[in-house]
Amino acid sequence: MPLTADDFRSFADQFSGLARSIVAFEANNPNLSDGDFHTIDRLRMAALDYSDHFLISAIQETLKDLNAPLQQISDATNRMNVALRNLKNVGKAIALATAGIQLGAAIMTGQLGAIGGAIGSLVNVMTN
């Protein structure tokens, strides 16, 4: 049985949780040797890397499953990135970044209506 986007999201959460547990272990053991600290830190980074890879797989599965409007998403995020690099107004930059994050959340849901609405919100922030 092939893995679904939800499966990959669950794996990402689990490995992100592993990284948080490793950080908690480090905090509870302040007398670690340098060697042990570096080994544990590498393990934390590996857990975060796996979490990132699982999130990427979840996004790929989500987009594959919905045949999303990839060009619209790409165009909107490219325009957002250019606008963010050139903005001087902090409030506008925060609003634009927030709209970008909301687009990411909409993509993760896999719902075309939510994605379209988030693209519209992003474009609205960029044009106002």
Q: What is the pLDDT along the chain (128 residues), one digit of tens a residue?
A: 888 888 999 999 999 999 999 999 999 999 999 999 999 999 999 999 999 999 888 878 877 756 557 778 888 889 899 988 988 889 999 999 999 999 988 887 777 788 889 988 988 888 88
Query: Looking at residue 102, what is its pLDDT?
Result: 93
Please state the domain extents for the chain: 1-67, 68-128
Q: Is there a contact between 19 and 52 (Cβ–Cβ < 8 Å)?
A: no
Calpha distance 9→12 (Å, rounded): 5
Predicted local confidence at residue 110, as pLDDT: 73
Q: Does residue 49 contact residue 78 with C-beta atoms inside 8 Å?
A: no
Q: What is the pTM of this model?
A: 0.56
